[in-house]
């Protein structure tokens, strides 16, 4: 068995993604916001690497009804319809729409693993489904890779903590650490350090503090609410969509 955690997509330089079951984590906020959007009936989310690429995709995607969404420095990109807040992803806004989204770290993390065989978006708001899928992949003998999006291109405590919870869930009660990379071991240590409450690692993280300073405190409360958006987004063919069902 092989279970790797990398703390930013830059860590992928030394890890092969091909053939692996990949879980991308951006708790604050892109992963959480994607779960909110799909749960509110968005048709798909198309990650874009830059604002310019998002605008270009919006012009070329064809007959689908599209919305531009995303942030820079946590604030909505001027001219876009939506920012990167889960609270904005209401049915009235997003139902049936394809959302073209660009964020500082989260969308780039997805694009960085496009070569993997399966890519899921894991967060707290969909933790049970993500954990069940990680456990099933683990029992199937699949190689797992957990990719944290990070904060401002660096380590993010919130993502790393959730990575630890996911590793713990994938392993079930297994105590044997063979096959875990150093990132996975460190992520598990964070779970030991912070215990099993979701909120603390989010509120003390730099990303959390920056969100409070920008007036998005409520987004932290949403992001810390386990299973509030019970969907398991999967990224394939350049789109994030709902997986039809998840294993019990």
Q: Which of 74, 97, 133, 165 binds ligand MLT (CB under 6 A)?
A: 74
Helices 182-194 & 157-171 angle (0-180, nearest 10): 100
Label residues 28-66 b or e (16+ Cβ within 10 Å = b). bbbbbbbbbbbbbbbbbbbbbeebebbbebbeeeeeeeb
CA 136 to chain centre: 19
Q: Does 47 bind ligand MLT (CB under 6 A)?
A: no
Structure tokens at 225: 């609410």
Q: How far is the CB of 71 from ligand MLT (least distance, A)?
A: 4
Q: Does 29 bind ligand MLT (CB under 6 A)?
A: yes
Report helix, strand or coil for 19: coil
Element holding 70 (H helix, E strand): strand 66-72
Q: Does 71 bind ligand MLT (CB under 6 A)?
A: yes
Q: Does 37 bind ligand MLT (CB under 6 A)?
A: no
Q: How far is the CB of 104 from ligand MLT (least distance, A)?
A: 3
Q: Does 202 bind ligand MLT (CB under 6 A)?
A: no
Q: How far is the CB of 92 from ligand MLT (least distance, A)?
A: 22
- 127's torsion region: left (phi>0), alpha (psi -120 to 50) or beta? alpha
Structure tokens at 246: 């998840």
Question: Which C-beta is closer to ligand MLT: that of 71 or that of 168?
Answer: 71
Q: Does 104 bind ligand MLT (CB under 6 A)?
A: yes
Q: Judge contact between 173 and 38, C-beta under 8 A.
A: no
Q: Which stretch binds ligand MLT (CB under 6 A): 41-49, 53-61, 104-112, 232-240?
A: 104-112
Binding positions for ligand MLT, 116-155, rule CB under 6 A = 149
Q: Does 86 bind ligand MLT (CB under 6 A)?
A: no
Q: Does 30 bind ligand MLT (CB under 6 A)?
A: yes
Footprint of ligand MLT (CB under 6 A): 26, 28-30, 71, 74, 84, 103-106, 149
């Amino acid at each position: 068995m092989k279970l790797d955690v990398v703390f930013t997509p830059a860590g992928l330089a030394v890890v092969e993604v091909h053939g692996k079951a990949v879980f991308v984590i951006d708790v604050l906020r892109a992963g959480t916001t994607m779960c909110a959007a799909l749960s509110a009936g968005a048709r798909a989310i198309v990650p874009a690497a830059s604002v310019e690429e998002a605008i270009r995709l919006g012009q070329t995607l064809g007959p689908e009804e599209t919305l531009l969404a995303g942030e820079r420095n946590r604030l909505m990109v001027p001219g876009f319809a939506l920012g990167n807040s889960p609270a904005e992803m209401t049915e009235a806004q997003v139902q049936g729409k394809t959302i073209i989204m660009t964020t500082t770290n989260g969308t780039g993390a997805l694009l960085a693993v496009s070569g993997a065989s399966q890519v899921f978006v894991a967060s707290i708001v969909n933790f049970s489904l993500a954990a069940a899928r990680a456990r099933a992949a683990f029992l199937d003998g699949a190689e797992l890779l957990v990719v944290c999006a990070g904060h401002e291109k660096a380590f993010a405590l919130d993502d790393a903590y959730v990575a630890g919870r996911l590793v713990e869930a994938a392993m079930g009660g297994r105590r044997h650490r063979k096959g875990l990379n150093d990132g996975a071991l460190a992520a598990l240590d964070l779970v030991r350090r912070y215990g099993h409450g979701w909120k603390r690692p989010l509120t003390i993280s730099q990303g959390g503090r920056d969100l409070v300073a920008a007036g998005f405190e409520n987004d932290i409360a949403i992001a810390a609410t386990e299973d509030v958006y019970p969907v398991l987004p999967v990224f394939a063919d350049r789109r994030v969509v709902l997986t039809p069902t998840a294993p019990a």
